[in-house]
C-alpha cells in the first residue's frame, strides 16, 4: 500500500516530545568518564592491527582489534589508502552494522577505501561476528540482545555498545594517517542509530574531556532502528521489537513493569541524542518499513540540530536501498574529499 500525500505530510511534521529522563545527560557523562577519566585510558584508545593479505596494492588492509573497557576484545576491519601517512592524512569513515550482523565483508568496505578514505568497521559485541560480550548481566532475557540487562540503565546491553562506539571513533582519530577533524559515520538500521548516538555523545561531551580528539564532521543514517522506541514497539509488525513482545510474555505478562521498561529504554533512544548532533546529516526512510516505522525516523530527523536532509523511499521496506548509496557517496565527498562543489 502506497503512502498518500496527506500521510507523508503528517510524517514530515511528526516531532514528538523527547523522552529523556531528568538525569539523561548526567548518566552519559558519568559513563564516558569510565573511559576518559580512567588512568589507563590510552590503552583503550588504540587499534591493534594485523596486516591482512589482499590483492590490491593501493589499499592497506588490516584485521583490527580494540580492548573495550570491560575487557571484551572487539574485532573488525581497518583499511586505508597505501599512500596515506602522518604527512598525507586522509579523511576517515566508521561503518556501523545492522542488528544481528557483523563487521561485514571487505568488498563492502573497499567501496569507500578506493575513494580515498580510511575505513573502520567493528562488530557490535555479542552479535553475529567474532566478538563476544564479556559482560555479566543481573537478569535473564529473551533471545537476541534487545532485552539483555533490561533491569536498569546501567545494566542494559546497549550502554556498553554505545561506549564501544565512542571508543572506536576516538581510537581511529588517533591514527597517524587519519584527519581527526574529518570523520564521517554511517550505517543502516541499528548502524544508523549508532552513528547518530555516537555523533551526539562526542559533540555534547568533547568540551568536558580534553583528551578527545575526534571530530564528527558528517553522518549518514538510513532506516534508523532504536528511535522513538515506545512508538516503534507499538507499531511494529516484525523485526527485533518482537523480542520485547516475548519479554513481556515471559517476564511481565500483565505489563505491570511496562512504564519502567520504557523509562530504561529512553536512555538509549536515538531520538533523545538527536538534539546533540550539529554536523550535517543525510537520512533515508523507507515508507513501507514495518520493522522501523517511518514515523520513528522522522521523530529523530526533526530533532536534529544541524543541517539535514531526509530522502523518503516510497517503495522500500526495511532493507538496503541501493539508490541511497549513490546519494551517500556524493554527500560524503562534498564534505570530506573536497572533490565535488
pLDDT tens digit sequence for 77-136: 999 999 999 999 999 999 999 999 999 999 999 999 999 999 999 999 999 999 999 998
Tell me, yes or no, whether 339 lies in a domain: no
- State the residue range of the domain holding 281: 5-334
Quick one: pLDDT at residue 284? 98
Q: Is the pLDDT of residue 176 over 50?
A: yes
Tell me, yes or no, whether 130 lies in a domain: yes
Active-site residue (options: 97, 236, 318, 324): 318
Q: Is the pLDDT of residue 141 over 90?
A: no
Phi, psi of 309 (to 5 degrees): -150, 135
| Annotated catalytic residue 289 | yes
Quick one: pLDDT at residue 52? 97
Tell me, yes or no, whether 303 lies in a domain: yes
Q: Looking at residue 88, what DSSP letter applies? A: B
Q: Which residues contact 126 (CB under 8 A, 6 or more apart)?
A: 132, 133, 145, 148, 157
Q: In the numeric block, which cell numbers belong to residue 332?
A: 560524503
98 contacts 190 by C-beta, under 8 angstroms:
yes
Tell me, yes or no, whether 251 lies in a domain: yes
Quick one: pLDDT at residue 340? 44
Tell me, yes or no, whether 340 lies in a domain: no
197 contacts 162 by C-beta, under 8 angstroms:
yes
Residue 339 pLDDT grade (very low, low, confident, very high; cuts 50, 70, 90)? low
Q: Which residues contact 4 (CB under 8 A, 6 or more apart)?
A: none
158 contacts 137 by C-beta, under 8 angstroms:
no
pLDDT tens digit sequence for 254-305: 999 999 999 999 999 999 999 999 999 999 999 999 999 999 999 999 999 9
Quick one: pLDDT at residue 341? 38
| Annotated catalytic residue 53 | no
Quick one: pLDDT at residue 140? 79
pLDDT tens digit sequence for 45-93: 999 999 999 999 999 999 999 999 999 999 999 999 999 999 999 999 9
Q: In the numeric block, which cell numbers belong to residue 216?
A: 564528527
Quick one: pLDDT at residue 236? 81
Q: In the numeric block, which cell numbers belong to residue 73?
A: 576484545
Tell me, yes or no, whether 307 lies in a domain: yes
- CA–CA separation, 228 and 297 (whole Å): 8
Residue 139 pLDDT grade (very low, low, confident, very high; cuts 50, 70, 90)? confident
Q: What percent of the chain has pLDDT over 70?
A: 99
Tell me, yes or no, whether 341 lies in a domain: no
* Choice among 94-98, 106-110, 137-141, 148-152 with the minimum mean pLDDT: 137-141
- CA–CA separation, 317 and 311 (whole Å): 14
Q: For the chain, what is the mean pLDDT?
A: 94
Q: In the numeric block, which cell numbers belong to residue 18?
A: 523527547
Residue 215 is part of a domain; what is its CATH number?
Answer: 3.40.50.1820
Quick one: pLDDT at residue 311? 97
Residue 307 pLDDT grade (very low, low, confident, very high; cuts 50, 70, 90)? very high
| Annotated catalytic residue 324 | no
Alpha helices, DSSP H, located in the chain: 5-12, 24-36, 41-44, 106-113, 157-173, 190-205, 229-235, 241-251, 258-266, 270-273, 294-301, 322-332
Instruction: Report the alpha-carbon angle 271-94-149, nearest 5.
Output: 50
Q: Coil, strand or helix: which one is 240?
A: coil
Active-site residue (options: 97, 198, 289, 324): 289
190 contacts 161 by C-beta, under 8 angstroms:
no
Q: How many domains in the chain?
A: 1
Active-site residue (options: 101, 189, 227, 266): 189
Amino acid at each position: 500500500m502506497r503512502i498518500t500525500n496527506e500521510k507523508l505530510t503528517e510524517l514530515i511534521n511528526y516531532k514528538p516530545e523527547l523522552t529523556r529522563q531528568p538525569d539523561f545527560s548526567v548518566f552519559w557523562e558519568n559513563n564516558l568518564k569510565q573511559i576518559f577519566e580512567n588512568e589507563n585510558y590510552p590503552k583503550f584508545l588504540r587499534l591493534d592491527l594485523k596486516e591482512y593479505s589482499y590483492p590490491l596494492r593501493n589499499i592497506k588492509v588490516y584485521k583490527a582489534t580494540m580492548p573495550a573497557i570491560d575487557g571484551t576484545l572487539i574485532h573488525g576491519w581497518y583499511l586505508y589508502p597505501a599512500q596515506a601517512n602522518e604527512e598525507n592524512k586522509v579523511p576517515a569513515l566508521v561503518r556501523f552494522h545492522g542488528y544481528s550482523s557483523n563487521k561485514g565483508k571487505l568488498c563492502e568496505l573497499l567501496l569507500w577505501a578506493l575513494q580515498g578514505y580510511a575505513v573502520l568497521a567493528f562488530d557490535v559485541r555479542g552479535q553475529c561476528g567474532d566478538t563476544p560480550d564479556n559482560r555479566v548481566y543481573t537478569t535473564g532475557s529473551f533471545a537476541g540482545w534487545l532485552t539483555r540487562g533490561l533491569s536498569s540503565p546501567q545494566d542494559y546491553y546497549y550502554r556498553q555498545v554505545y561506549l564501544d562506539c565512542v571508543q572506536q571513533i576516538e581510537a581511529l582519530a588517533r591514527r597517524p594517517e587519519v584527519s581527526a577533524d574529518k570523520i564521517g559515520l554511517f550505517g543502516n538500521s541499528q548502524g544508523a542509530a549508532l552513528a547518530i548516538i555516537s555523533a551526539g555523545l562526542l559533540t555534547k561531551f568533547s568540551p568536558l574531556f580534553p583528551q578527545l580528539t575526534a571530530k564528527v564532521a558528517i553522518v549518514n543514517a538510513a532506516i534508523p532502528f532504536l528511535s522513538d522506541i515506545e512508538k516503534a514497539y507499538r507499531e511494529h509488525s516484525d523485526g527485533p521489537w518482537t523480542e520485547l513482545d516475548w519479554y513481556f510474555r515471559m517476564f511481565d505478562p500483565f505489563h505491570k513493569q511496562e512504564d519502567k521498561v520504557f523509562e530504561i529504554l529512553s536512555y538509549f533512544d536515538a531520538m533523545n541524542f538527536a538534539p546533540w548532533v550539529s554536523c550535517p546529516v543525510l537520512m533515508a526512510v523507507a515508507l513501507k518499513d514495518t520493522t522501523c516505522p517511518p514515523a520513528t525516523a522522522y521523530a529523530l530527523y526533526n530533532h536534529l540540530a544541524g543541517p539535514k536532509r531526509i530522502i523518503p523511499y516510497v517503495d522500500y521496506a526495511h532493507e538496503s536501498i541501493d539508490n541511497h548509496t549513490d546519494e551517500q557517496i556524493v554527500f560524503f565527498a562534498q564534505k570530506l574529499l573536497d572533490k565535488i562543489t
